[in-house]
Amino acid sequence: MIPTEPWFCRTCGGFHEELPLSFNAPAPEAYYEIPRAEREARAVLSNTHAVLDGARHFLRASLELPVVDLMQPFTWGVWAEVGAELFRLAHDPAHTGGHASAPRGEGALASAIPGYPQTLGLRVWIQPRPLGQFPLLGVLDEAHPLRLEQDAGIALERVQEWASAMQHPQA
């Protein structure tokens, strides 16, 4: 979290000291489609990648939205389903240093993002970054509201709305 001014939460009616500038999906949505009793046998899930049924490959990535009123972006920690070759390259030491030779690839968004029309399956580009950083992800569909906000930025009030909803999911 980055220090921000206290903000009013519309859900609980109180003030919060710090505004979270990121939310993360713990796993690709497809992981939750596997029955719990079968997950250990059918899924490999780490902080950076997942493989389901030995055939579906996922990378964790950062989808950044500029916040107009701040110098820092808001980040959705999401998952993208990628082909086996991009998955392999993402784990190849020759390409994980974030240097110019690291290939930019494409995939499909594998995380549902609240507040937008359908995001699952949305075509995305994925750019590796320096070691220790998740790859950067961008929406390819120029007409999708998520892409529009990725290009133009979002207001701080939008982040506050997300924070209210995410911090009080039962409300």
- Is there a domain that residue 57 lies in? yes
- Is there a domain that residue 119 lies in? yes
Local confidence pLDDT in tens for the 171 residues of the chain: 444 567 777 777 777 777 788 899 999 999 999 999 999 999 999 999 999 999 999 999 999 999 998 888 999 999 999 998 888 877 766 655 554 456 789 999 999 998 899 999 999 999 988 777 889 999 999 999 999 999 999 998 888 888 877 776 665
Given this model, what pLDDT does residue 1 score? 42
- Is there a domain that residue 159 lies in? no
Q: What is the DSSP string of the chain?
A: ------EE-TTTSSEES----EEE-SS-HHHHTS-HHHHHHHEEE-SSEEEETTTEEEEEEEEEEEBTTSSSEEEEEEEEEE-HHHHHHHT-TTTTT--TTSPPEEEEE-S--TTSS--TT-EEEEE--STTSPPEEEE--TTSHHHHHHHH-B-HHHHHHHHHHHH-TT-
- Is there a domain that residue 110 lies in? yes
Domain that holds residue 42: 23-152
Given this model, what pLDDT does residue 54 score? 95
How many independent structural domains does the chain possess?
A: 1
